[in-house]
Amino acid sequence: MTTTSTTTRSIDTDAETEQYNETLQLLSEGSVHKHFDPYVDIDWESPAFAVTANDRRWILPAKTDPIGGHPWYRALPEDQQIAIGMWRQANVAKVGLQFENILIRGMMQYVFSLPNGSAEARYCTHESIEECNHTLMFQEMVNRVDADAPGMSRPMKILSPIIPLFATLLPELFFVGVLAGEEPIDHIQKGILRSGEEIHPIMQGVMAIHVAEEARHISFAHQLLRRRVPKMSRIGRFFLSLAFPITMRILCDVIVIPPKKFWQKFEIPKYVKDDLFWGTDESQHTLQDYFGDVRMLATETKMMNRAAKLMWTACGIDGKASRFRSEPDRSSSQFAA
Ligand SMILES: [Fe+2]
Ligand SMILES: [Fe+2]
């Protein structure tokens, strides 16, 4: 799985590298010409953004949030639906910014050893700046909506200082982890924006900015893996092909499933948690649907061998590969109407 510095130097001379560097140059220029500042582009003090009690727009959207669509949640009194909705949405933002914090540290670790003139170094630095802005934006939202949101579960917080080291030790695995976080968040946010369901303007504004910039980040991780994986040893690629779905599934659960505190605080019955994550056919379909794009990447980078396919199935995230990035799943409930 390792890529030696000799390999990296030889990469720098071939024609494919030129194309890769041109793509990164385009992404970097995209970052220069289209970027957001959370304290310039969001008018936090606008009355439309005020967070007030009993605002129905915090009720979780039924079509796009698994909790929001569950009959137990729908049957709750409105004030409880609002309280759960605020906590849930603030916590998703908190988990998102903690994930981005880890990603930034890893990216900086990766950039540290890149040579002068590296297109990767420039693009990764642009991306880290954008992620820093995302963490500011999400934290501002959390502070306004529910300052009680803890974010990730405790085991993940304990592991968080170790993960960035993988950017140096096993960069391919680190960038698989990057996609494991970015793809589900992006998929969920795009689903909510596309559905047109009413959400609070803070959520709308924050998500629109995030989706716009994430497209570049996801594109970069795909490009980097397409570039690096074919240059790995056969054995390294085989192990990565097995680690790929495991990483996707673990990090997806970390991001999507609320922490223990949530279930305790709102006294949510266990059967509801089991239904939502991922005990029903519908919730399993939702889970599989997050990963169409990465299944496409795994297939194209020859990491969908027989053993890997079994691992994707064992992880519960097998299914069709997308034909192109961000292909909507027409069979899911959010597009069924
Ligand atoms: Fe982000
Ligand atoms: Fe990102």
The ligand with the least distance to the CA atom of 221 is: 2
The ligand with the least distance to the CA atom of 210 is: 1
Average pLDDT of the chain to the nearest whole number: 90
Confidence check: pLDDT of 333 > 80: no
pLDDT in tens, 193-243: 888 888 999 989 999 999 999 999 999 999 999 999 999 999 999 999 999
pLDDT for 265 equals 94
Nearest to 189 by CA among 209, 164, 166: 209
The ligand with the least distance to the CA atom of 103 is: 2
How much of the chain exceeds pLDDT 90, in percent?
73
Whole-number Å distance, alpha carbon 191 to ligand 2 midpoint, is: 17
The ligand with the least distance to the CA atom of 181 is: 2
Whole-number Å distance, alpha carbon 74 to ligand 2 midpoint, is: 32
The ligand with the least distance to the CA atom of 217 is: 2
pLDDT in tens, 40-81: 999 999 999 999 988 999 999 888 888 998 999 999 999 999
Query: Domain 2-236's class?
Result: mainly alpha
Tokens 């949530």 -> residue: 262
The ligand with the least distance to the CA atom of 107 is: 2
Whole-number Å distance, alpha carbon 130 to ligand 1 midpoint, is: 7
Confidence check: pLDDT of 288 > 60: yes
Whole-number Å distance, alpha carbon 256 to ligand 1 midpoint, is: 15
pLDDT in tens, 111-162: 999 999 999 999 999 999 999 999 999 999 999 998 889 999 999 999 999 9
Whole-number Å distance, alpha carbon 252 to ligand 2 midpoint, is: 15
Whole-number Å distance, alpha carbon 54 to ligand 2 midpoint, is: 32
Q: How many CB atoms lie within 10 A of CB 186?
A: 21
SS (H, E, C) the chain: CCCCHHHHHHHCCCHHHHHHHHHHHHHHHHHHHCCCCHHHHCCCCCHHHCCCCCCHHHCCCCCCCCCCCCHHHHCCCHHHHHHHHHHHHHHHHHHHHHHHHHHHHHHHHHHHCCCCCCHHHHHHHHHHHHHHHHHHHHHHHHHHHCCCCCCCCHHHHHHCCCHHHHHHHCHHHHHHHHHHHHHHHHHHHHHHHHHCCCCCHHHHHHHHHHHHHHHHHHHHHHHHHHHHHHHCCHHHHHHHHHHHHHHHHHHHHHHHCCCHHHHHHCCCCHHHHHHHHHHCHHHHHHHHHCCHHHHHHHHHCCCCCHHHHHHHHHCCCCCCCCCCCCCCCCCCHHHCC
- C-alpha torsion 247→249→251→252, nearest 10: 150
Spans of all domains in the chain: 2-236
Whole-number Å distance, alpha carbon 210 to ligand 1 midpoint, is: 6
Whole-number Å distance, alpha carbon 273 to ligand 1 midpoint, is: 27
Tokens of 88: 């849930």
Confidence check: pLDDT of 328 > 80: no
The ligand with the least distance to the CA atom of 133 is: 1
Whole-number Å distance, alpha carbon 215 to ligand 1 midpoint, is: 10
C-alpha 121/C-alpha 233 separation (Å) is: 24
How much is the pTM? 0.89
* φ, ψ (nearest 5 deg) of residue 32: -70, -40
Whole-number Å distance, alpha carbon 255 to ligand 2 midpoint, is: 14
Identify the band that residue 192 occupies on the pLDDT scale cut at 50, 70 and 90: confident
How much of the chain exceeds pLDDT 70, in percent?
93
User: Cα dist. 265→59, 262, 269 in Å?
Assistant: 17, 5, 11
Whole-number Å distance, alpha carbon 102 to ligand 2 midpoint, is: 11
C-alpha 71/C-alpha 116 separation (Å) is: 57
User: Cα dist. 207→60, 67, 190, 326, 330 in Å?
Assistant: 15, 19, 8, 16, 22
pLDDT for 329 equals 64
Tokens of 126: 């642009």
